[in-house]
Amino acid sequence: MTRPKYNRILLKLSGEALMGDQSFGISPDMIKYVAEEARSVFDLGVQLAIVVGGGNIFRGVSAASFGMDRVSADRMGMLATVINSLALQDALERKGIQTRVQTAISMHEVAEPFISRRAIRHLEKGRVVIFAAGTGNPYFTTDTAAVLRAQEIQAEILLKATKVDGLYDSDPAIQKNAKFIENIRYMEVLEKQLHVMDMTAISLAMDNDLPLVVFNLMSKGNIRKVICGEVVGTQIRN
């Protein structure tokens, strides 16, 4: 069996990734696929934590742009991430993986509150931990939450799963000659304002020397390949 390069990782999934080919909500086929990919990592003995976005249900920034109060909109977005986290939890447990959902806002009947030491203990006991509700604060994205949680649980690397192969110097959907970037430094991402994550998340990862890999979730086996040290997607480091 291939030996993993990392012992503890954090995987960032966008809410949109759970939509599949739908225009809204959660695709049963897609969430099953994500659970299968997670299982392949879990089988390596790697400690896996996950942060899920909520864009497939509600995007606070978009709602605020239409006149909704930003704080209220962001809180609704946090609740959307909880829905996605519970759906992912169900899919993972159907694959025989023990999980825990921890939320940044209190909802004791639904999930545990986020406590970093408890999260680490769950990981050490072989459970997948899903972090919901972002940071619990408005104005902060789930990308920032992913970097923050990665630092708090002492993850060795952050994996950002997307719908593209990695980072390009321009939008490949618009620019046909967009160049793929295999390796880049955090400072270059900030200077060139490449939209891989929001600038707060990038700055936080850079300040804490957290390696980041951006890759295509839809290429089966990619998560496992990254964890085993294969060159996949875009590597971002200091």
> Using an 8 Å Cβ cutoff, are 3 and 227 in contact?
no
User: DSSP for 18-71?
Assistant: GGTTSSSS--HHHHHHHHHHHHHHHTTT-EEEEEE--TTT--HHHHHHTT--HH
Beta bridge pairs of residue 11: 50, 159
15 annotated as belonging to a binding site for a ligand: yes
Instruction: Measure the CA–CA gap between 119 and 112, rounded to whole angstroms.
Output: 10
Q: How far apart (Å, rounded) are the C-alpha atoms in residues 230 and 208?
A: 23
171 labeled binding residue: yes
225 is known to lie in a ligand binding site? no
Residue 139 annotated as binding site: yes
Q: Is 59 annotated as a binding residue?
A: yes
Q: Which residue has the tokens 């879990």?
A: 42
Q: Is 14 annotated as a binding residue?
A: yes
Q: Was 141 annotated as part of a binding site?
A: yes
Residue 60 counted as an annotated binding residue = no
Q: Is 144 annotated as a binding residue?
A: no
177 closest CA partner among 164, 188, 168, 185? 168
Say if residue 137 carries a ligand binding annotation.
Answer: yes
Determine if residue 13 is labeled as part of a ligand binding site.
yes
| Residue 186 in marked binding region | no
**4 assigned binding-site residue:** no
Binding site annotation covers 142?
Answer: yes
168 is in an annotated binding site: yes
Residue 140 is labelled as binding a ligand = yes
Q: Known binder of ligand: residue 90?
A: no
The annotated binding site for UMP is made up of: 54, 74, 135-142
Q: Which residues are part of a known binding site for ATP?
A: 12-15, 55, 59, 162, 168, 171
Q: Which residues are annotated as a binding site?
A: 12-15, 54-55, 59, 74, 135-142, 162, 168, 171
